[in-house]
Amino acid sequence: MAGAGSFRREMLEAQAPPAARTGRLRWLQENLFSSWPSALLTLLSLAAILWLVAHVWPWFAHSVWDAGSLTECRAIIRETWGEGASGACFAVIRERWQQFLFGFYPRELYWRPTLAFVLMFVALAPILFAELPRRLRWFAVAFPGIAYWLLWGGPASVPLAVYAGFAIAWLVHRAVAARSSELVALVVAVAAMILWWLHLAGPVARALPILELQPVGSSRFGGFTLSLVIGVTGIAFSLPLGILLALGRRSQMFFVTTMCVGFIEFIRGVPLITLLLVASFLLNIFLPPGTNFDIILRVIIMVTLFASAYMAEVIRGGLAALPRGQYEAADALGLDYWKATRLIIMPQALKISIPGIVNTFIGLFKDTTLVAIIGLLDPIGLTTAIRADTNWNGIVWELYGFVALLFFLCCYGMSQYSQYLERKLRTGQR
Amino acid sequence: MTSIDTHQEPFRLGMLLNDTRYRSLTIQVFALAAFILTTAWLVSNTVQNLSALGKDFSFSFLGSRAGYDINQTLVPYTNNSTHARAALVGILNTILIAILGCGLATVIGVLMGVLRLSGNWIVARIAAAYVEGFRNVPVLLWIIAIMAIITESAPAPRAFRGDEASASMLFGAFAVTNRGLYMPWPVLGPGWQLVVLTFLASLAAIVFLRRQARRRQEETGEILPIFWLGTGLFFVPVLLVDALLGGPITLDYPVLERFNFAGGGFVDKALLALWLALSLYTGSYIAEIVRAGILAVPRGQTEAASALGLRPRRVMSLVILPQALRVIVPPLISQYLNLTKNSSLAIAVGYMDVRATLGGITMNQTGRELECMLLLMGFYLLVSLGISSVMNWYNASVALKER
């Protein structure tokens, strides 16, 4: 052992790592060239990307935005860029983009679907982002009526009469619940609401035609407006229906469970397209003679039922994942079934099933394109119609690329939101 | 009950509503009554409507002449065949696309799922782009777009002609044209049964060998070179028997004739487009399932296996995969079910599956919407029940045997 002077009293400054171990070089070595196979894969991928860019870039660079037909497009490309040059013909999008967005909605009324679309975000904001004031949620409640009135037109008293049904149900429920049991009050309230809708709402709405807008028939709906109308309505109704079905499937009551299981398994066992065929061919046979209601409404009903069965299974997964202690604790607090469900069970079960719920939403939105098969002109139906037009016969990439981009933006946006929500609601149990 | 419950409360009518013991009974009776009433209402409506339309409810139309042609059939069919035969052709076509699609989707999905976990940044990004790109666009759009691309971009058969042909056949055997895919097809000569039997026997031998090797490994720890033995067994006996018999099974290559290719096998472009679109779309879901399954195996398992001295490949095959498969297989099977159901979109490209024959042309020709839809839904329900019972069987067989 040496004396006290032989060891250092201060720490040495850390030396900089060697150049090959830092910065970009190190990153390249670790992530792209860590081994021979990896290096080979990197080179192959780079070659593939280069090949793709080399083919796609000229196509974009030579694009034509102003032409009346595909032949005209090709002539312009030949003139400007020489024989054999490839180029995109985005003129078709320029000519038809209004149709893609609004279908055959009257041109001078485009402001109505646009306004409804903007208001949709105002209505969604307080639901999507909890930081906003809760009072805004009343607007979300009113939005379906406003949207219906804006899109289909007619007097504002029609949606108002529908809302009046809910108000009546609430009043009746309060009046009866004061005198009798909760269950009786519920039954009477629902009966009163249905009575109002079936027999009184129509005459009352006709008697008071206020704020009348020019009516627009369902046959003029198309394009992305149609997809959004079906998709958003389906999403809005399939969640509550799915919750009810999931609760029914897990209930102790034999008949209720059987009915829910039967419904869910039936719907999940058949393709959506068969249900849409039922909507377009058979629904009139099942209903009283002479009933004939709107094809869009029929489609919305079927899409909603379809999505609600999948939603029920997702939520059932969430319910099953909740620890048994939560149910018992709710019982021990003396909460009745609905209070326990609303305050203790559902908030946790829904949080667990967010990814599944959003996936179902995305699936539903993509499935709205199936209406093209029963002859509605959604974006895909429109592409088929445009390709059948002699002017645009033979156009492929531009049309499908445009529609695919629109759907991609919506669906990718939804999945990003669900990831944000998951991160936000994670309470650190894991 | 126990002796505490001595005084029995007399039953009152109000207890049906207020006592939780009886209330569920009340609710069920009401629910059942509502259900029966609704069903009766629907049935009576249907009966009224059908009689107003002058229709009856019968399946006799299945025995009458179909009168339409089907471009791709697996069993003999002409337009003189019955509607039942047309439905059978459709069912077989649905099963064909389902099997083809599930196979290709699994290959694509497993490949992309593994690549997305790769340490190579650029490869992982490409796999992620594939998954997000295909998942977020409707499958119907893919089907129609791929069909349009084949129709518009693939060369016509005449492009293969002459010395300066603008298109050439892949390996001199496969020709992708705007009508479909022309490819070699086996021709069965005398004695082909023996070759097929040999092949089946060697498959059985491979399965047997794997079992033996596994047992031996569990008993003695000795590992047989199962991969090479299996590969040898797969090829050698069949080729040997084939050569001994003088080659009873030969390949018939497509040859370009005046207007089109002749000979060989032909896959219609509708089937091709549907197959590619369904496989690529479902593959993106399977990729995510595979990725989640591999990530679900805790890292400690890999480390523990390495600590035991297993080589990386054995870590994968003996430790990671068996555990990951338990997570992967159930959602994978439900993706197979989804693919089968999505194949009902075949009508968009004119592929004649059961939805296009029974639920399409037959329904329109005979006007038997109710009967056709019942049969169609019944078929799809049977398929999904079958697939989900396979899933339940698998779940039961791999469930952790604890407690």
**Residue A355's domain is classified under what CATH number?**
1.10.3720.10
Q: Can you say how many angstroms the Cα of residue A7 is from the centroid of all Cα atoms in its chain? A: 69
Burial class of A369 by CB neighbour count within 10 A (0 to 12, 13 to 18, 19+): buried
Give residue A3's pLDDT. 54
Q: Which two tokens stand for residue A90?
A: 């985005």
Print the domain residue range for B221.
189-243
| Claim to verify: residue B327 and residue B393 sit in the same structural domain | yes
Print the domain residue range for A223.
217-425
CA dihedral over B363, B367, B369, B372, signed as positive or negative: negative
Distance from CA of B53 to the nearest CA of A (A): 10
Query: Which chain B residue shows the shortest CA-CA distance from A280?
Result: B369
| Claim to verify: residue B214 and residue B282 sit in the same structural domain | no
Q: Does the residue B166 lie in any domain? A: no
Burial class of B129 by CB neighbour count within 10 A (0 to 12, 13 to 18, 19+): exposed
Beta-carbon count within 10 A of A8 CB: 6
| Claim to verify: residue A200 and residue A289 sit in the same structural domain | no
Q: Is A288 on the interface with B (CB under 8 A)?
A: yes
Q: Does the residue B390 lie in any domain? A: yes
Q: Does the residue A349 lie in any domain? A: yes
DSSP state of B320: I
Amino acid at B137: V
| Claim to verify: residue A235 and residue A204 sit in the same structural domain | no
Interfacial A residues in 140-169 facing B (CB < 8 Å): none
Beta-carbon separation of B152 and A256 below 8 A: no
Q: Is A285 on the interface with B (CB under 8 A)?
A: yes
Nearest by CB: B122 against A32, A184, A253: A32
| Claim to verify: residue B362 and residue B297 sit in the same structural domain | yes
Q: Does the residue B291 lie in any domain? A: yes
Q: Which two tokens stand for residue A152?
A: 């289909």
Please tell me the total count of domains within chain A: 2
**Strand intervals (E) in A277-351:** none
Residue A99 contacts residue A399 (beta carbons within 8 Å): no
| Claim to verify: residue A191 and residue A312 sit in the same structural domain | no
> Residues with Cβ < 8 Å from B184, sequence gap 6 or more?
B173, B174, B251, B252, B253, B254, B264, B265
| Claim to verify: residue A352 and residue A232 sit in the same structural domain | yes
Q: Which residues of B touch A397 (CB under 8 A)?
A: 149
- The CATH number of the domain where B312 resides is what? 1.10.3720.10
| Claim to verify: residue A295 and residue A324 sit in the same structural domain | yes
Q: Does the residue A232 lie in any domain? A: yes
Q: Which helix (H) or strand (E) holds A47?
A: helix A36-61
Distance CA B287, CA B114 (A): 8
Beta-carbon separation of A407 and B119 below 8 A: no
Distance CA A246, CA A352 (A): 14
Q: Which residues of A touch B369 (CB under 8 A)?
A: 281-282, 285
Q: Does the residue A59 lie in any domain? A: no
| Claim to verify: residue A165 and residue A190 sit in the same structural domain | yes
| Claim to verify: residue A251 and residue A388 sit in the same structural domain | yes
| Claim to verify: residue A266 and residue A396 sit in the same structural domain | yes
Q: Which helix (H) or strand (E) holds A249?
A: helix A223-250
Q: Does the residue A144 lie in any domain? A: no
Q: Does the residue A127 lie in any domain? A: no
In 3D space, the residue among A416, A311, A124 whose CA is nearest the CA of residue B135 turns out to be: A416
| Claim to verify: residue A269 and residue A166 sit in the same structural domain | no
Give residue B392's pLDDT. 81
Amino acid at A279: A
Beta-carbon separation of B17 and A184 below 8 A: yes
Number of H-type helices and E-type strands within chain B:
14, 7
Q: Which two tokens stand for residue B367?
A: 């006007």
- pLDDT tens digit sequence for A18-71: 766 677 777 777 777 777 888 888 889 899 999 989 888 888 888 888 877 888
| Claim to verify: residue A410 and residue A291 sit in the same structural domain | yes
By percentage, how much of chain A surpasses pLDDT 90? 11
Residue A97 contacts residue A376 (beta carbons within 8 Å): no
For chain B, list residues with pLDDT below 50.
1-2, 403
| Claim to verify: residue B326 and residue B221 sit in the same structural domain | no
Distance CA A70, CA B174 (A): 32
Give residue B403's pLDDT. 47
| Claim to verify: residue B298 and residue B382 sit in the same structural domain | yes
Q: How far is CA B216 from CA A292, B63, B212, B227, B228, in A?
A: 71, 58, 6, 15, 17
Interfacial A residues in 398-417 facing B (CB < 8 Å): 400, 403-404, 407-408, 411-412, 415
Q: Does the residue A12 lie in any domain? A: no
Nearest by CB: B32 against A184, A255, A266: A255
| Claim to verify: residue A179 and residue A237 sit in the same structural domain | no
Q: Is A2 helix (H, G, I), strand (E, B) or coil?
A: coil
DSSP state of B319: I
Nearest by CB: B141 against A281, A362, A407: A407
Number of H-type helices and E-type strands within chain A:
20, 0
Beta-carbon separation of B31 and A367 below 8 A: no
Beta-carbon separation of B373 and A281 below 8 A: yes
Distance CA B288, CA B335 (A): 11
Q: Does the residue A279 lie in any domain? A: yes
pLDDT in tens, chain A (430 residues): 445 567 888 888 888 877 666 777 777 777 777 778 888 888 898 999 999 898 888 888 888 888 778 888 888 888 887 777 777 888 888 888 888 888 888 888 888 888 888 888 888 887 777 777 777 778 888 888 888 888 888 787 788 888 888 888 888 888 888 877 777 788 888 888 888 888 877 777 777 777 777 888 888 888 888 999 999 889 889 999 999 999 998 888 888 899 899 999 899 989 999 999 888 888 888 887 777 778 888 889 899 999 999 999 999 888 888 888 888 898 899 888 888 888 888 888 888 888 888 888 999 999 899 988 888 888 888 888 888 888 888 788 888 888 999 999 989 998 888 888 888 877 655 4
Q: For tokens 């048994």, what's the residue?
A: A324
Q: Which residues of A touch B119 (CB under 8 A)?
A: 30-31, 34, 38
| Claim to verify: residue B351 and residue B307 sit in the same structural domain | yes
Provide the β-strand partners of residue B249: B188
Beta-carbon separation of B139 and A366 below 8 A: yes
Q: Is B328 helix (H, G, I), strand (E, B) or coil?
A: helix
Beta-carbon separation of A31 and B359 below 8 A: no
Distance from CA of A63 to the nearest CA of B (A): 18
Residue B182 contacts residue B266 (beta carbons within 8 Å): yes
In 3D space, the residue among A174, A148, A175 whose CA is nearest the CA of residue A161 turns out to be: A148
What is the per-residue DSSP string for B35-59? HHHHHHHHHHHHHHHHHHHT-----
Distance CA A88, CA A60 (A): 6
Nearest by CB: B121 against A32, A183, A252: A32
**Biggest distance spanned by C-alpha atoms of chain A:** 110
CA dihedral over A277, A280, A281, A285, signed as positive or negative: positive
Q: Does the residue B293 lie in any domain? A: yes
| Claim to verify: residue B237 and residue B275 sit in the same structural domain | no
Distance CA B232, CA B224 (A): 14
Give residue A430's pLDDT. 43
Q: Does the residue A49 lie in any domain? A: no
CA dihedral over A241, A243, A249, A251, signed as positive or negative: negative
| Claim to verify: residue B293 and residue B338 sit in the same structural domain | yes
| Claim to verify: residue B124 and residue B231 sit in the same structural domain | no
For chains A and B, count residue pairs whose Cβ atoms are closer than 8 Å.
Answer: 155
Give residue B139's pLDDT. 92
End residue of a domain, out of B243, B258, B280 = B243
Beta-carbon separation of A271 and B140 below 8 A: no
Q: What is the CA radius of gyration of chain B?
A: 29
| Claim to verify: residue B369 and residue B275 sit in the same structural domain | yes
Q: Does the residue B341 lie in any domain? A: yes
Provide φ and ψ at A122, rounded to 5°: -60, -40
| Claim to verify: residue B285 and residue B386 sit in the same structural domain | yes
> Residues with Cβ < 8 Å from B207, sequence gap 6 or more?
none
Nearest by CB: A31 against B24, B31, B121: B121
Give residue A428's pLDDT. 55
Give residue B308's pLDDT. 92
Provide φ and ψ at A329, rounded to 5°: -65, -40
Q: Which helix (H) or strand (E) holds B176?
A: strand B175-177
Residue A107 contacts residue A98 (beta carbons within 8 Å): yes
Please tell me the total count of domains within chain B: 2
